[in-house]
Chain A
Amino acid sequence: MRYLPLTDADRREMLGVIGVRSIDELFVDVPGAAKLDGPIAGLPGHSSEMLVERKLKAMAGRNLAAGDAPFFLGCGAYRHHVPASVDHLIQRGEFLTAYTPYQPEIAQGTLQVLFEFQTQVARLLGCEVANASMYDGSTACWEAIVMARRITRRGKAILSAGVHPHYVSVAQTMARFTGDVIDTAVPDLTDGAPGDDMDWLLNAIDGETSCVVVQNPNILGHVADLSELAAACQARGALLIAVVTEPVSLGAIRSPGEMGADIVVGEGQGIGVGLQFGGPYVGLFATREKYVRQMPGRLCGETVDVEGKRGFVLTLSTREQHIRREKATSNICTNAGLCALAFSVHMSLLGETGLRRLAALNHAMAVEAADRLGRVRGVSVVNGPFFNEFTLRLSKEARPVVRALADRGILGGVSLGRLYPEAASLANGLVVAVTETSTAEDVETFAAALEEELA
């Protein structure tokens, strides 16, 4: 077995040192009823690298990769071009095969990256502090709700209809067990502002409300000014939690922090991390400095060593499970270290200049695509302001159209029927994302096929 260096001679010698005759004697404490005499039945034996590769390649070949088709899917996962150096750097063994930096003297590489990541994330989201990452956007969103409960000592969270339905679903699942109240609704396809429920949110905040959760851009691509909502939350002692699922948008749109959000969570996948069928991704979590001791997850902080040299350590760990056990702010342990590194490398390659250019390119291409698709018979663009994602209203149910487009080799957006199967009012909605990876030809192919499917 190519991954096992011990030879049979080694094994015999080591058993001798231990003072046992066979390996079975080391498993003597396993109850007889649970002992297995040989390899588990029903599974194949070991295999060469070549054969494993062949088998997995065949499986991968049964999927239509985004890069092999006109591709317009978003809704919480975005396809952006990741520079080749990002993947090279995250595969450095010293990053890839390191553990959580519990021994800071020999983990300054990871720790400095985390400190830089925290700084980048805080600035991108417009907040004072950010943590060293969460699992993903959806779990970060729930952790933010829990944090708001801890800070306000209130138990009702109001979730805008524009929040990603999976994020809402996670919160609803968790709330059933924690006793939190989740108040939310299904979005409307309102022309000019789909999914915008600002008026409802403003009226719904009361003395029980721990937080209002809004997503910007929202699940239907609408972009909103959160300032008034932030002020309303503040006036009533609630926190404003903003969710960002497309980090590239923050190269063009004012950040939630600048608009007054108290906690900003995000899905960082769009920068540095590939689609990967939904994971692993990287949760972003940022807030005000005054709430830092209520934050979940790992934090990296600056300090000095005994010689006075600057260094970095994991800090404020008295919030965390390995110290605080049942009194911890969260049960999270492993986070998304390597994806955070990918995010950070990509972000430092982009820099502010590159990020703004990337965002401008996305927006311009999306505007052109929206105009083109809006000219297809049976299609209207629902959105007013948007970034790189917008919602189309089709003349028929969108779900079968998406399937028919897939049969033609076109990945033409996410149907709202898939995301909101219960909501008949949304059945004709199709959410289309356009990034720098789409071409004008892709848009043309998509538009022509859509025209035929709707005819």
Chain B
Amino acid sequence: MSINPSGWKPEMGADETAEVVTFTGNRALMLEEPLLFEYSDFGDTGVDFPPAPVVAPRLGGLDRNRPIGLPGLSEPQAVRHYTRLSRQNYAIDLGLFPLGSCTMKHNPRLNEKMARLPGFGDIHPLAPVSTVQGAFELIDLVGTWLKTLTGMKAVAMSPKAGAHGELCGLLAIRSALEARGDARSVVLVPESAHGTNPATAAFCGYVVENIPATAEGRVDLEALKARLGPDIACMMITNPNTCGLFERDMIAISEAVHAAGALVYCDGANFNAIVGRVRPGDLGIDAMHINLHKTFSTPHGGGGPGSGPVVFSEALAPFAPLPFVEQQSDGSFILVEEETAGDYHAQSFGRMAAFHGQMGMFVRAAAYMLSHGADGLRQVAEDAVLNANYILRRLDDVLDAPFGKSGPCMHEALFSDDGFPEGFSTIDVAKGLIDEGFHPMTMYFPLVVHGAMLIEPTETEGKAGIDQFIGALRSVAERARAGDVSLKAAPHFAPRRRLDETLAARKPVLAWKEPVQAEAAE
């Protein structure tokens, strides 16, 4: 029992329903924040510098004379501006973030601390190799873990994110095919694939064809076999797939693809479901990217940075990109780049990015791997799968689970909007969840399910939190089924109500302009 020390007894006023309009537009802790360009004291700075030595400039007469238009804030203003903005975001730190296929798990703070050690955070990518042996050791450590966890032969550490990893995998596949004089033009992707898969295949010059799914939500092996032929370069598959199911026929799929002279690319976005329990190398996969920002907990940061190392089978290892780290017999590390590629890695397809990859993410992933160990990672997969199945079973009476009878789900539970009355769809459930204080699930993906709701709780949620989420989603789903129109106007309590995306796209305003200028442009 808490005590009110003031002795004052709160009472409701007479008119408790009246809409209150505040002078500021703020609503207590919900604070409106202007754009930084709208601060009235535009032009100041929040950084002090020692005076510059007086020299005759050598800029070749190219001095920037015209105003740039960059406002400066003092430190207190800047801290307040960004702190206020931060409070308009939902985040894992605030609650369950069940975005399917995104693996929004807790981001351990030890990882952040380690990445900021000067020996990792303050070293230059072109520093003499004798001065950065510990950095190469760390890259090698992460690479070794990734190879061991996936049962694969080689790893490329330089890809910058998942889609960049896909690109890396497909370029290696194309190089391997070209090396055997076998130009092939088509990449197969399942209907349920992430959008990056077909985009990546097209980006490196392939024609993309879809392979249908069976009624139970898995790749149709017979349809795949029927399409395989000498023009097929590779099958891109996601396993566990985006319907949340393990591809039961995965070994048979790989065998069929290999028998047709093609290779198997696995989108590793969903590796969290099987890490420590299944090695993709045992499933016949030739290349797979691993989103360190998913399975290995590096923070998503509001949309990156990611990191997408790619593991390769024996068949593709010789074609992996530059650069890579190689340990010498004396224990020291060297960096194999264009210069020495011929000695170590003559068939490499080349460089994908400047420098050596997302080192800051490698440090975080290393801290995560070492913390969990092989046993902890296995537990990660098990708890992630357990949490998802629990959600699937607890809600399948109120939401349609299109593949509920296809066997257990993996790390994500998939529902559809089947059974909702006319005019109600997944978006209304999603926006209703926002009012309940949760981030919505992934909506309308995968495309194979009508009004898909893909829910990935991850292993870092406890049972009480999941029960509360289930209660909230059940309540919202029931409101949708009952045709509760208040749901159509949700969210009611977020910093913004539904936003007009059509207006944004029709008349794009992508940068701030001074009001006078904006009027003149009308």
Q: Select one of B108, B128, B306, B495 contacting A403, CB under 8 A.
A: B128
Q: Is the CB of A330 within 8 A of B302?
A: no
Q: How far, in whole Å, are A313 and B141 apart by their CA atoms in the complex?
A: 40
Stretch among B9-17, B89-97, B310-318, B476-484 lining the A interface: B89-97
Scan residues 22-45 of chain A and give those whose CB is less than 8 A from a CB of chain B: 23, 25-31, 33-36, 38-45
Q: In the complex, which residues of chain A have a beta carbon less than 8 angstroms from the beta carbon of B383?
A: 4, 6, 11
For residue A85, CB closer than 8 A to chain B, the reply is: yes
Residues of B482-501 at the interface with A, using a CB-CB cut-off of 8 Å, are 489, 491, 494-501
Query: What residues on B are CB-neighbors of A102 within 8 Å?
Result: 99
With a CB–CB cut-off of 8 A, which chain A residues contact B358?
279-280
By the criterion CB–CB under 8 Å, are B304 and A338 in contact? yes
| Contacts A62-B134, A65-B119, A352-B72; A18 near B389 (Cβ below 8 A) | yes
Chain A positions within 8 Å of B78 at CB level: 85, 89, 345, 348-349
Closest Cβ–Cβ distance, residue B130 to chain A (whole Å): 6
Kindly supply a per-residue 1/0 record for chain B positions 350-371, scoring 1 wherever the CB is within 8 Å of any chain A CB and 0 otherwise.
Answer: 1111111111110100110011
Closest CB in chain B relative to A224 CB, distance in Å: 7
B59 touches A124 (CB 8 A): no
Q: Which of B62, B104, B160, B276 contacts A40 (CB 8 A)?
A: B276
**Residue in chain A with minimal CB distance to B204:** A177
For the side of the interface on B, what is the size category?
A: 35 or more
In the assembled complex, A316 has its CB within 8 A of some CB on chain B: yes
Is the C-beta of B336 less than 8 angstroms from some C-beta in chain A? no
Query: Given A384-B58, A385-B62, are A338 and B305 also a contact pair (CB < 8 Å)?
Result: yes
Q: A3-B371, A108-B88 are in contact. Are A56 and B114 (CB under 8 A)?
A: yes
Which of the 9-residue segments A129-137, A206-214, A232-240, A445-453 touches chain B?
A129-137
Indicate whether A98 reaches chain B with its CB closer than 8 angstroms: yes
Q: Tell me which residues across on chain A come within 8 A of B305, comparing CB atoms.
A: 135, 279-280, 282, 334-339
Interfacial chain A residues near B43, Cβ < 8 Å: 351-353
Q: Please, which residues of chain B bring their CB within 8 A of the CB of A385?
A: 58-62
Known contacts A349-B73, A351-B44; is-contact A105 B498 (Cβ 8 Å): yes
| Residue interface bits B27-68, CB-to-A below 8 A is 1, else 0 | 000000101110000011111011011111111111111111
Q: Are B199 and A330 in contact (CB under 8 A)?
A: yes
With A14-B463, A130-B511, A348-B72 as known contacts, state yes or no: A113 contacts B85, CB within 8 Å.
yes
CB closest chain-A residue, reference B47: A354
Q: Is B420's beta carbon under 8 Å from chain A? A: no
Please report the C-alpha to C-alpha distance between residue A397 and residue B282 in the assembled complex, in whole angstroms.
50
Contacts of A164 in B (CB 8 A): 354
List A301-336 residues whose CB lies under 8 Å from chain B: 301-307, 309, 311-313, 315-318, 320-328, 330-336
Q: Which of A18, A53, A178 contacts B205 (CB 8 A)?
A: A178
Residue numbers in A under 8 Å from B376 (CB-CB): 1, 3-4, 45-46
Chain B residue at minimal CB-CB distance from A64 = B131
Which of A55, A97, A280 is B304 in contact with, Cβ under 8 Å?
Answer: A280
Mask of A390-431 contacts with B, CB within 8 angstroms, 1/0: 000000000000110011000100100011011000000000
Residue in A43, A100, A387 whose Cβ sees the most chain B Cβ within 10 Å: A43
Q: Is B374 an interface residue (CB 8 A)?
A: yes
Q: Which chain A residues lie closer than 8 Å to B505 at the CB level? A: 301, 315-318
Asked if A4 and B460 sit within 8 Å, CB to CB, the answer is yes
Q: How many chain-A residues does the 8 Å CB contact rule pick out?
A: 214
Asked if B70 contacts A253 (CB within 8 A), the reply is no
- List, in ascending order, chain B residues with CB within 8 A of A167's CB: 354
Taking the complex as formed, is A275 at the interface, i.e. its CB lies under 8 A from any CB of chain B? yes
List A residues 244-267 near B (Cβ within 8 Å).
250-255, 258, 267
A153 at the interface (CB under 8 A from B): no
- With A348-B78, A357-B45 as given contacts, are A306 and B489 in contact (CB-CB < 8 Å)? yes
Q: Which residues of B contact A347 (CB under 8 A)?
A: 70
Contacts A62-B133, A105-B498, A348-B73 known; A322 to B195 CB distance under 8 Å? yes
Decide if B112 touches A91 in the complex (CB within 8 Å). yes
A107 near B302 with CB under 8 A, answer yes
Q: CA of A1 to CA of B369 in the docked complex: distance in angstroms?
A: 12
A39 to B276, Cβ gap below 8 A?
yes
**Is there contact, CB below 8 Å, between A276 and B121?**
yes
Tell me the bound Cα distance from A364 to B46 in angstroms.
Answer: 21
Determine the chain A residues whose CB is within 8 A of the CB of B63 once the complex forms: 252-254
Of A70-78, A154-162, A197-205, the one touching chain B: A70-78
Contact between chains at B162 and A46 (CB < 8 Å): no
In the complex, which residues 131-166 of chain B have their Cβ closer than 8 Å to any Cβ of chain A? 131-135, 137-138, 141, 145, 148-149, 160-164, 166
Q: Is B421 an interface residue (CB 8 A)?
A: no
Interface assignment of A378: CB less than 8 Å from any CB of chain B? no
Across the interface, do B374 and A93 meet the contact criterion of CB distance under 8 Å? no
Taking the complex as formed, is A66 at the interface, i.e. its CB lies under 8 A from any CB of chain B? Answer: yes
Contact check, A280 vs B360: say whether CB atoms are below 8 A apart: yes
Shortest B486–chain A CB gap in Å is 13
A230 close to chain B: CB less than 8 A: no
Question: Are B91 and A94 in contact, CB atoms less than 8 angstroms apart?
Answer: yes
In the complex, which residue of chain A has the Cβ closest to the Cβ of B463? A10
Whether a CB of chain B sits under 8 angstroms from the CB of A368 is yes
Q: Is A166 an interface residue (CB 8 A)?
A: yes
Residues of A within 8 A of B167 (CB): 331
Is B350 touching A173 in the complex (CB atoms < 8 A)? yes
Interface residues of B in 200-233 (CB under 8 A from A): 200-205, 208
Within 8 A of B (CB), among A282-313: 282, 292, 298-307, 309, 311-313
A58 proximity list for chain B (CB < 8 A) = 134
- Interface pair B303/A101, CB less than 8 Å apart: yes
Is A351 a contact partner of B120 (Cβ separation < 8 A)? no
Whether the Cβ atoms of B75 and A275 lie closer than 8 Å is no
Contact of B46 among A100, A103, A351 (CB under 8 A): A351
Tell which of B82, B92, B408, B461 touches A5, judged by Cβ atoms closer than 8 Å: B461
Partner of B338, one of A3, A25, A169, A303: A169
Q: How far is the CA of A260 from the CA of B408 in the complex (A)?
A: 59
A365 near B52: Cβ-Cβ < 8 Å? yes
Please measure, in the bound complex, the distance between the C-alpha atom of A107 and the C-alpha atom of B496, giving whole angstroms: 9
Give the distance to chain B from A400, nearest Cβ to Cβ, in Å. 11
**Pick from A27, A97, A275, A282: contact of B91, CB under 8 Å:** A97
B53 in contact with A365 (CB, 8 Å)? yes
Chain A to chain B contacts (Cβ below 8 Å), 19 pairs: A10-B462, A18-B408, A40-B279, A59-B138, A63-B132, A64-B131, A96-B112, A138-B353, A166-B353, A252-B64, A267-B354, A275-B121, A275-B122, A321-B198, A326-B198, A331-B200, A338-B301, A350-B45, A421-B338
A-B residue pairs, 6 tightest by C-beta: A351-B72, A60-B119, A278-B355, A338-B301, A385-B60, A93-B93
